[in-house]
Amino acid sequence: MKFRFHDKTIEAQPGDTVAAALYRSGQRIFSRSFKYHRPRGLLCVSGKCPNCLMNVDGIPNVRTCITPVHEGLRVKAQNAYPSLETDFLSVTQRFDWLMPVGWYYKTFTRPAMWHAVEPAIRKVAGLGEILPSGPREYEHAWMHAHTVVIGGGWAGMQAALAAAERGEQVVLIDDQVALGGQACYRKRMGPRPDAIIARIRAAANIRLLQNSYCFGLYEGNLLGVLQRAPHPGASERLIHLRAQQTVVASGAYEAPIVFPNNDLVGVMLSTGVLRLLHLHRVQAGKRAVVVGKSLQAGEVAEELRDGGIEIVAIVDPDTILKATGSSTVNGIQTRTGHFSCDLVVICGPRIPDNGFVAQAGGRIEWSEPQGAFLPTLPPSNVSAVGDASGEAVANTIAPLPTSKRAFVCLCSDVTSADLCDAVAEGFNHIETLKRYTTATMGPCQGRMCQLSAIGVCARETGRSIGETGMTTSRPPNPGVSLGALAGPKHHPLRRTPMHYAHQDLGVVWLDMGDWQRPRYYTDHLAASEEERVLLEYRAVREAAGLIDVSTLGKLDVRGADSGKLLDKVYTHRFSDLPPGRVRYALMCDEGGIILDDGTVSRISEDRYFVTTTSGNLDFVQQWLEWQICATGWDVHITNVTAGYGAMNLAGPKSRDTLRKLTECDLSSGSFPYMACREAKIKGIPAILLRIGFVGETGWEIHCPAESAEGLWRAILGAGHEFGVRPFGVATQRLLRLEKRHVIVGVDTDALTNPYEADMAWAVKLDKKEFIGKTLLAHAAKDRSRERLVGFVLQSPGVPEDGAAVVVDGQPAGRVTSARYSPAQLAAVGLAWVKTSLAQDGVFIDLRVNGELLKAKVTMKPFYDPEGVRLRQ
Amino acid sequence: MREQVGLADLSYRAKFDTKTAPSRPFWPLGRNHFLIVGEPPLSPPSGATDVTSVYAELLLAGPSSTAVLSKLTSLNLSDAALPNLFCAQASLAHAHTIFLREDIGSIPGFRLLISREYAESAWEAIVHAGHEFHLQPFGLGALELLRN
Amino acid sequence: MSFLIPCPNCGNRSVYEFRFGGEVQAPPTSAAPPGDWQKHRFNRVNAAGVQAEWWFHRSGCRQWMQAVRNTVSNEVLESFLPGDKQE
Ligand code: FES
């Protein structure tokens, strides 16, 4: 297998990670540090530190030490220019005296100063950059399990097998290259647990998620899991995993020891060296100094010797003065002498990885004998096992010398001297110390530095480690890419039954929530929206137009108590509505505030057909269901929105058009305005409502969805000789505005009552009881609030929706809708004004394009004010 | 379908929604809420609302059908949580869906009732999610063959 | 926030499947003065502790239910369909 590292081709062996292959090829520097651009090499080799972050296939900040190689991968270093080996910005470390801890806050105290340096700082700050790359697919998935085990080491595998034997559904999550945890790279753990791994793989009720990591344990035992490369078609999959029991078996990881130059390339954690050796057959160096307490260090030294690495010395951390070397380590200076070497192996403290227990609400407390923070009192559905629980962990805390070259936090180059300075400046609480210095806040999320930072804080403040305490563990940790959180690109779409007929007609779509609705139609692209809308407008006013209104919410309400329910939720009366009639319906809440409007048609004695606005259907249905909760009323509400295609044919020629397709008598004598009938059109069963949102003779036709496209085409065909055209929402908005019809949610807001909206006629206060009655009766007498009025602009121009109303130089309201009206030959619209101005003939000023223009208030429709046309 | 997973459009089937428990086989949707689904022609029980045109019906069948669905819904689809001939309701690709588990012999099958306006978008999402399992659309002919 | 609500029809489901309907409170009588209705409409107890709430299972059975929830721990102590239980 081969892959590219900049312009080099690197050979990889099967099972290699990117970092292992690079190391074998001789690469030693893997990154440049965040602040000082110091060279950094592999440290933990387990995905827990910031040192091996690179750009892999265009993705920044990838931990190369746990990224398996595949053919053709493109790998690049980041945060280094021109190269890892020579990084110009490494001069910054010479000026570290200029950049003490908190230097941002201290230096750029004036905005002008910050503005001057911001561009330069932006350029060098941050980690990695996003390179253009091929399209990337992210997936989401959901899983459910009885028991989830985080960590595929010895303890995790045992826990998974035990749960499986109890018959539970188990999910085992492992983020390492191979199952088995330490046993894969520590000889003292005995032979590789191949038998157990085989049993895990064979168990039918264990689901194994490899190459996956858990990034958070959330409320309700919800685990966020990220699976890398789940299949060739996807780069990442985010799994929402619900468990009843979570077993935290994430083990313990090793942390560095603090001494001057402890960040030199070639200073590695013992577990990192052993991983390279046993997992990848790579010797991290030839001559090694092992740093650690006698027993632990002795074991490591022996294993390394077996692996062919010469051990120069075993050094107690207490005696170390510093590591030597300029970029790569060349030796260790102790109190007794200097030891030359090309590798320093750190046997650091082992930190139980138990952040998940804390996230689940468990307490984490310091245990002096074990030298570790351990979970106490975990919640009943979470447990920690193995090293994560602290069993078999026994750390001696190494000294923490104060030095400007002893790095505590590798992610943001915070030294022990920096921490001491910060404590001296008063940041003596571990949480404020963290925020001020940014220690524990980098890509490693405190894994490498937390214990040392707490140690320094404790020493400097004269408190114990237990008193100093830990910073709070919060998900996500490790981080998750935004693409994975966002998930697949699928966006749900709601299509009306006439969707493809619109497409054939050259539709321009309008997105309304998930719905796609025709905005207007165009047969040649050169025409502007205004021109097309005018054409459609003229068709409706002079011949007839057909609009798809399938998005209207439609509810079938049946049962003996239906009238009673409708009387309760709407302000009008419906129990007395005769079959075959339609009535406008306005819905208010207990506060008398308008919720929705629509129509109610009585199809038969015990069956009503209710329409709602497109966006409020769910709300209205839920509102209706809520009102009948526990009442025992005989009402059955069914949402039939998707079952009916609906279209509105309107205009003087609509009767002539429809007559060609139906035997139903359409004359105003037998089918008057506000009547409804069930009839067949072109053989298709339909519900016809004689209503007129746009102010012309017209019918709203509802028919079974599967027949709707056919009916749509048939009506356009029949109307062709009269000049019937399809029209879209843009035209409908103009037509309705000329009739001064209010759109709930556009012209009204969350505080509008019907009196303010000039719709007193829709409220029947003499009705015995209905929702909102008390406060509506109150509002009917209240003249202090605003009113919604119509206006005609007195000069050319069209105010924008939301434009200000100005009276005597003061803002006095706002425009909610405005359009140029071909009927008035001027802009017309609706606006909120003080009640005193709500009279015919009053003049108000509107701000249009920065100018104040006069407009005349009217309380009547702008078109056919008497409503003659609609009743014809 | 026998080895992987297939998707069919069975929207022609008749569906009725009712508040009173019918005397013929039904799917319980909640307290006092029942659904009848069957091959047309099917006469409606009294008081029921015809929802044939409201719901599209997709049939997802095959050994990988659960794996496909778990990429689109948070519903627990395991044999224990949703056994054969049980039903549940949840979001699928962001659209409300009634899941009817109806295996074809030993092949797991899910009938998915999705509000018609969302159905095409849901179909696209299922086909996309099924790509890794080599999902194939199939027709009534294949369904016949599978049944016999 | 990712706690579970036991739906009487559908079983344990994520809170994201539900619409919150507010605190359960008895409405004033129709003869009550406007002030009572204003209080009913706009004032909330907002208890830090156990309270009865309306929930609508939007992504599931689409029915209204009541749940007794500890607003501090988000533990749902019980849930039932209205009418099944007299408070
Ligand atoms: S070396 Fe890769 S994360 Fe530490």
d(CA A479, CA A128): 15
**Which atom of ligand 1 lies closest to the CA of A48?**
3
Per-residue pLDDT band for C81 (boundaries 50, 70, 90) equals very high
Is there a contact between A774 and C34 if contact means CB atoms under 8 Å apart?
yes
Residue nearest to atom 3 of ligand 1 (CA): A47
Ligand 1 midpoint to CA A382 (Å): 28
Out of A176-190, A848-862, B56-70, least confident range: A176-190
Q: What is the pLDDT of residue A525?
A: 67
- CB of C35 within 8 Å of any CB in chain A? no
Average pLDDT value over all residues in chain B: 94
What's the gap in Å between A65 CA and the centre of ligand 1? Answer: 5
User: What's the confidence (pLDDT) of residue A177?
Assistant: 77
- In chain C, residues with a C-beta closer than 8 Å to the C-beta of B33 are 61, 63
Contact between chains at B132 and A234 (C-beta distance less than 8 A): yes
For testing the chain C interface, which of B27, B29, B34 should be mutated: the one with the most C CBs within 10 Å?
A: B29
Q: Give the model's pLDDT for residue A718.
A: 97
What pLDDT sits at residue A264? 96
Q: Which residue's CA is the closest to the ligand 1 atom numbered 1?
A: A45
CA distances, A698 to each of A455, A543, A658, A662 (Å)? 81, 11, 10, 15
**Domain spanning B6-147, CATH architecture:** 2-Layer Sandwich (3.30)
| pLDDT tens by residue, A712-768 | 999 999 999 999 999 999 999 999 999 999 999 999 999 999 999 999 999 999 998
User: What mean pLDDT comes out for the span A156-174?
Assistant: 97
Q: pLDDT per residue over A349-407, tens digit each?
A: 999 999 999 999 888 999 999 999 998 888 899 999 999 998 888 888 888 999 999 99
Q: Reply yes or no on whether the pLDDT at A271 is more than 60.
A: yes
Residues of chain A with C-beta less than 8 angstroms from the C-beta of B98 = none
pLDDT digits 0-9 by tens, A73-113 = 999 998 777 788 877 777 767 677 667 777 666 776 777 77
A822-846: pLDDT as tens digits = 999 999 999 999 999 999 999 999 9
A8 CA → ligand 1 middle, Å: 22
- Neighbors of chain B with 3 or more C-beta pairs under 8 Å: A, C
Please determine, for residue A148, whether its predicted confidence score (pLDDT) is greater than 60: yes
- Each domain of chain B, given as residue ranges in start order, spans 6-147
- Name the amino acid, one letter, at A773: K
Contacting subunits of A (3+ beta carbon pairs below 8 A): B, C
The verdict on the CB of residue A44 being under 6 Å from ligand 1 is yes
CA distances from A298 to A188, A413, A453, A704, A821 (A): 12, 31, 27, 82, 91
Q: List chain A residues with CB under 8 Å of C39.
A: none
The whole-angstrom distance between B2's CA and the closest CA on chain C is 30
Task: Ligand 1, residue A66: give the atom nearest the CA.
Answer: 2
Name the residue with higher pLDDT: A733 or A809: A733
Tell which of C18, C23, C41, C71 to mutate to test the A interface (max A CBs under 10 Å): C41
Note the pTM of the prediction, 2 decimals: 0.92
* A48 CB within 6 A, ligand 1: yes
Examine the pLDDT at B118 and tell me if it is beyond 90: yes
| Interchain pair A494, B117: CB under 8 A | yes
Q: A51: Cβ below 6 Å to ligand 1?
A: yes
Ligand 1 pocket, mutate which of A46, A56, A61, A253 (most atoms under 8 A from CB): A46
Mean pLDDT, chain C, whole residue set: 93
Residue labelled with tokens 């299949």: A231
Q: Ligand 1 mean position to A49 CA, how many Å?
A: 5
With beta carbons under 8 A apart, name residues in chain B contacting A639.
54
A45 lines ligand 1 (CB under 6 A): yes
pLDDT confidence bin for A124, thresholds 50/70/90? low
pLDDT at C87: 46
Q: Is the pLDDT of residue A649 over 70?
A: yes
CA–CA separation, B8 vs A869, rounded Å? 49
The pLDDT, as a whole number, for residue A543 is: 97
Residue type, A724: V
- CA of C46 vs chain A CAs: smallest distance (Å): 19
Task: Say whether C60 and B90 touch across the interface (CB within 8 A).
Answer: yes
Q: Please report the pLDDT score of residue A783 as a whole number.
A: 73
pLDDT tier at B56, thresholds 50, 70, 90: very high
* Per-residue pLDDT, A125: 66
Ligand 1 atom nearest the C-alpha of A45 is 1
A434 by Cβ neighbours in 10 Å (0-12 / 13-18 / 19+) ranks as buried
Model pLDDT, residue A59: 84
- The pLDDT, as a whole number, for residue A36 is 85
pLDDT band at A473 (very low <50, low <70, confident <90, very high): confident
User: Distance between CA atoms of A344 and A588, rounded to whole angstroms?
Assistant: 76
Tens digit of pLDDT for each residue in A3-15?
999 999 999 999 8
Please count the residue pairs, one from chain A and one from chain B, whose beta carbons lie less than 8 angstroms apart. 94
Using DSSP's 3-state secondary structure scheme, residue A421 falls into helix
Q: Which of residues 73-112 of B touch A (CB under 8 A)?
A: 73-76, 78, 80-81, 93-95
User: What is the total residue count of chain A?
Assistant: 872
Q: Which pLDDT value is given to residue A378?
A: 84
Neighbours of chain C (3+ CB pairs under 8 A): A, B
Ordered domains of chain A (ranges, CATH):
2-105 (3.10.20.440), 136-252+349-396 (3.50.50.60), 256-348 (3.50.50.60), 509-551+647-735 (3.30.1360.120), 553-639 (3.30.70.1400), 783-864 (2.40.30.110)
- Distance between CA A185 and CA A192 in Å, rounded? 9
Task: Give percent of chain A above pLDDT 70.
Answer: 97
Of A140, A488, A638, the CB nearest to B49: A638
User: Range with the lowest mean pLDDT among A165-174, A240-249, A303-312, A477-486?
Assistant: A477-486
For the cut 90, the answer to whether the pLDDT of residue A269 exceeds it is yes
Mean pLDDT for A145-164 is: 96
B49, B115, B124 member nearest A642 (Cβ): B115
* Confidence category of residue A524, pLDDT binned at 50, 70, 90: low
Q: Return the number of other C-beta atoms located less than 10 Å from residue A279's C-beta.
A: 19
**C chain contacts of residue B54, beta-carbon cutoff 8 Å:** none
User: What value does the mean pLDDT of chain A take?
Assistant: 92
Give the closest residue to C5 by CA, choosing from C51, C63, C84, C74. C74
Judged by CB atoms closer than 8 Å, whether chains meet at C34 and A618 is answered as: no
Residue A338: CB partners within 8 Å, gap ≥ 6?
A: A324, A331, A332
**Cα–Cα distance measured from residue A594 to residue A767, given in angstroms and rounded to the nearest whole number:** 18
For residue A503, the model assigns a pLDDT of 95
Mean pLDDT for A534-560 is 96
Q: Which one-letter amino acid corresponds to residue A74?
A: R
The answer to whether residue A139 neighbours chain B at the CB level (below 8 Å) is yes
The C-alpha angle A637, A638, A644, rounded to 5 degrees, equals 140
Report chain C residues whose CB lies below 8 A from the CB of B30: 9-10, 61-63
Residue C17 per-residue DSSP state: G
The tens digit of pLDDT for each residue in A202-261 reads 999 999 999 999 999 999 999 999 999 899 889 899 999 999 999 999 999 999 999 999
C48 touches chain A (CB under 8 A): no
CA A635, CA A87: separation in Å to the nearest integer? 76
Of C56, C62, C74, the CB nearest to A219: C74
Question: Quick check: CB of A52 below 6 Å from ligand 1?
Answer: yes
